């Protein structure tokens, strides 16, 4: 009897304490999403499992974009190009020089980061949509270079084949689809935690300050150029890792996977899910990549048209993304529920005490 009273008090206190409530809710959501992700191999076909693995890999690149867009407020259409740099670094060094997966992974991260840092230089001089145009140009340039350039004959339009590169992760016979999926999930978890840590760090605050007001943050001693370059470098690390993993996962990469159109698609994912919420990029990537699998979506043209319309409607109606929209909806519903719950439990005799 006593136990139940104290338990009830605790629940009442938790409900009345919004901060603790928010923490509880967040933990519940993350645990639920985590369990769902881990259980995916139990109930999907092999085709969908592969798609889920691709989604996880893509989401890592989208998290890279979310770092600069969500924190520093800079949107880029060049991230498919950076992704390509990671993928081609992995593929070329694996094929031509016989490097292992573990050796090319850091190399891809480094190359992609360097390219991203170079991409940051225009961002120092040009802002807003001018920078977007420049990144669009960069993305197309990367594709043209991949199609024309390089001494790697098969690396041209036909693409590169990366056969049998997936290593045995930690000695657990990991050639099966399930194990590759779990490794990808582990990468994704690392990426999400990294984004979380970046956001919590002082540098995250610095980026947000630059996003909100460049002149003001410069006046209090924030080095704008260094902040932006560092933000891009970090972002490039994500795309580099995603690229290398992508190349080994797909076993065949070609320039048309990484054009400006794909840069737009990455931007769509980040806008769709929302760049600021922690699970936004993952939701965005999942929606964009899984919508074509829906039963009514047998005409690829309609799927593309639906994407485009979704993007337009989102920008016009829900500019902060799906996750924020869902959250607002949930909070609305919860508050409504709590209000009715409270008014039933304690009839409103004293309206003033209701706020305490």
Partner 1 sequence: MEIFLQQVINGLSIGAVIALMALGVTLIFGLTGLVMFAHGELLVIGGFLAWFVTIQLSSSFWLGMVFAIVAVGLIGLALERGVFRFTFDSPINGFIVSLGLIIVLQHLLVELSPAGASIVDIPAPIGKVFDLGGARIPGTRVLVVGATLAVVAVMLWVIYRSSHGRALRASAIDRDTAALMGIPVRRYIMVVFLVGSLLAGLGGALMIGLFPIDPFIGGRFVIKAFAVALAGGLGNPLGAILAAFGLGLAEAMGTQYFQPEWSESYAFIVMIIILLVRPRGLLTGLQGPAAR
The residues binding partner 1 (CB under 8 A) are 75, 121-122, 125-130, 132-134, 136-138, 140-141, 144-145, 147-148, 260-261, 264, 267-268, 271, 299, 301-302, 304-305, 307-312, 315-316, 319
User: Are residues 275 and 315 in contact, defined by beta-carbon separation less than 8 angstroms?
Assistant: no
Closest to partner 1 by CB, 129 or 345: 129
CB of 258: closest distance to partner 1 in angstroms? 15
Task: Please give the structure tokens belonging to residue 337.
Answer: 């529920």
Which residues have CB under 8 Å from 355's CB, separation 6+?
A: none
Compute the least distance from the CB of residue 170 to partner 1, in Å: 41
Neighbours of 150 (CB within 10 A): 12
Comparing CB distances to partner 1, the nearer of 25 and 147 is 147
Q: Of 48 and 208, which CB lies nearer to partner 1 in the complex structure?
A: 208
In this complex, which beta carbon is closest to partner 1, that of residue 186 or of residue 312?
312
Residue 118 CB, shortest distance to partner 1, in Å, is 11
Give the nearer residue to partner 1 in terms of CB position, either 30 or 133.
133
- What is the nearest approach in angstroms of partner 1 to the Cβ of residue 64? 19
Q: What angle do CA 191, 192, 196 make, to 5 degrees?
A: 115
Q: Closer CB to partner 1, residue 122 or residue 167?
A: 122
Smallest gap from Cβ 55 to partner 1, in A, equals 19
CA distance 138 to 336: 49
Nearer to partner 1, 115 or 260 (CB): 260
Q: Which is nearer to partner 1, 147 or 214 (CB)?
A: 147
Pairing of strands 160-161, 252-253: antiparallel
Q: How far is the CB of 182 from partner 1 (least distance, A)?
A: 33
On the CB side of 120, CA atoms within 13 Å amount to 24
Q: In whole angstroms, how close is the CB of 74 to partner 1 at the nearest point?
A: 11
Q: How far is the CB of 286 from partner 1 (least distance, A)?
A: 19
């Amino acid at each position: 009897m006593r136990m139940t009273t104290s338990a009830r008090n605790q629940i009442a206190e938790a409900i009345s304490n919004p901060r603790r409530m928010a923490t509880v809710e967040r933990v519940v959501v993350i645990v639920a999403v985590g369990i769902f992700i881990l259980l995916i191999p139990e109930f999907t076909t092999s085709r969908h499992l592969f798609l889920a693995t691709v989604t996880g890999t893509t989401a890592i690149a989208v998290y890279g974009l979310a770092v600069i867009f969500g924190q520093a407020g800079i949107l880029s259409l060049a991230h498919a190009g950076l992704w390509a740099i990671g993928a081609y670094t992995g593929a070329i060094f694996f094929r031509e020089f016989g490097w292992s997966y573990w050796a090319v992974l850091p190399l891809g991260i480094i190359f992609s980061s360097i390219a991203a840092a170079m991409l940051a230089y225009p961002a120092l001089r040009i802002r807003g949509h001018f920078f977007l145009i420049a990144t669009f140009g960069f993305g197309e340039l990367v594709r043209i270079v991949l199609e024309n350039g390089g001494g790697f004959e098969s690396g041209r339009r036909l693409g590169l084949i990366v056969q049998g590169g997936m290593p045995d992760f930690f000695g657990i016979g990991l050639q099966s689809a399930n194990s590759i999926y779990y490794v990808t999930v582990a990468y994704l978890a690392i990426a999400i935690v990294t984004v979380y840590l970046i956001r919590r760090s002082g540098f995250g605050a610095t980026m947000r300050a630059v996003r909100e007001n460049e002149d003001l943050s410069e006046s209090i001693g924030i080095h704008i150029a260094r902040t932006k370059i560092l933000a891009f470098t970090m972002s490039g690390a994500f795309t580099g890792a995603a690229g290398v993993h992508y190349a080994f996962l797909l076993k065949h990469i070609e320039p048309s996977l990484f054009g400006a159109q794909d840069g737009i698609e990455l931007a769509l994912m980040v806008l769709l899910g929302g760049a600021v919420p922690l699970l936004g990029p993952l939701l965005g990537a999942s929606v964009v990549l899984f919508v074509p699998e829906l039963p009514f979506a047998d005409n690829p043209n309609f799927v593309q048209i639906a994407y485009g319309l979704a993007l337009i409607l989102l920008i016009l109606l829900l500019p902060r993304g799906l996750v924020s929209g869902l959250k607002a909806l949930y909070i609305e519903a919860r508050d409504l529920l709590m209000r009715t719950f409270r008014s039933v439990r304690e009839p409103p005799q004293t309206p003033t005490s209701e706020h305490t």
